[in-house]
Chains A and B, each alone.
Chain A
Amino acid sequence: MNIPSLSIASLKERVESFSLKSLLLPLFGILAFVLLWQVGASRVHTSLGEFPGPSVVYEQWNSLVAEHHNERVKEDKFYERQEKRIEARQAKDPSYEGKLRAYTGKPTFFDQIFTSLYTVLAGFGLASLIAIPLGILIGLNSSVYSALNPIIQVFKPVSPLAWLPLVTMVVSASYVSDDPMFSKSFLTSMFTVTLCCMWPTLINTAVGVAAVEKDLLNVSKVLRLNWMTHVTKIVIPSAIPLMFTGLRLSLGIAWMVLIAAEMLAQNPGLGKFVWDEFQNGSSNSLGRIMVAVLMIGFIGFLLDRAMLTIQRFVSWDKTQVLR
């Protein structure tokens, strides 16, 4: 609206200050960090050699990318060979039905990233499906809150590592199937993530729902809104900011919990990659672990940004500053 009243000069100034703040300063911060890292790393000596600096990490990144490509090429060749063999046999004996065997090569770094990503999203999704409706119920009804609060408070601080053995045993005992849709390791990781990350969403949703302005509740009463309209038109919109605070905290926890669970349980994923490299103990290991550390951080950051984008999309108040 007030753009026409801005002079071109002040507009230019704004654009410039924006790019300075949003690009130049972060870039400066990163550069300073890399420099410190390089200098500091060369002074730390371990039994596996020097602590990996930025240049070593960059080399290892390249080698991980190369390994991934090699593995894909090997996989393609593996299937090609199988198909040829089947075709050859079918030429001799038309009744022969070939069966393609799955490639059993070692999962690469990028395969592990993919595994971790969909595990965390599944675990987080399940947690949200439980926590949001339950949070709304708790926030609306103080009796339900009083009944459930002690349980929530006790389970909230439990570490994923404590849950893991129990979840593993329960999954292996109860999920018995000849042709399983999901692997047991996936289910174990997912349930552990769910159990650990649902609490912030649950609590924040409940608080948001309970904190709906009294005037708006009176409006709802005067209009005699039915329960469903009351919840969808009044309660949920006003609880959305806190709900998203909870969801973002939950997703952050989910990602951290998952890496720990994968390390401990040797379930496929980035955690297992880190643990395998540690056990491997080659001169490249520390560099590769550092690549994984940075990748875990970067993915965590992207997940949070994704949540923020969803919040912007869902939130009614587009002028709200979200960070």
Chain B
Amino acid sequence: MKFKTLIILIMLLLAVIGAHPAFADNYVIDEKLFKEIESNLMCTDGCGMYLKTCDNQTAQQMRVEIREKMGEGMNPEQIYGFMMSIYGEEVMAAPPASIPFNIVAWVTPFLAMLGGGLVIYVALDKWVFIKKTEGNELDVDQADMAEYEEIVDEEIKKYF
């Protein structure tokens, strides 16, 4: 009984020690998650480079910080929040959609395309003079073949 209690106590002690940040390096970091976090951040020394592609000292330091925070059990959102609290919103490689104004960045291109699509729809509706394609239709093969055959006919006239 005493032996079992001792084992449990040792295991608990190890768990507490292991959870301390000072021992974080001993943790196996999820490299895939690390790369994902890294690929959403910028290097902050003014080089203008994406963290994933930057190898300068600031970038190395940032990687150490990310690993530390991962070791502390932070999830990606918490790590981004931590980074933004130190370096500002600029540290994110894309405008974080958690800030309402930044949603404008994400949706505007698609809204513009939607607008463009509507313009095309309205224009086609105005321009197309045969509304029904069934019945009185031109076969696509015939249309394309006509073009090939025109070229060939021209050559036949010339060379044969």
**Chain A complexes with chain B:** no
Q: Identify the B interface with A (CB < 8 A).
A: none
Q: Identify the A interface with B (CB < 8 A).
A: none
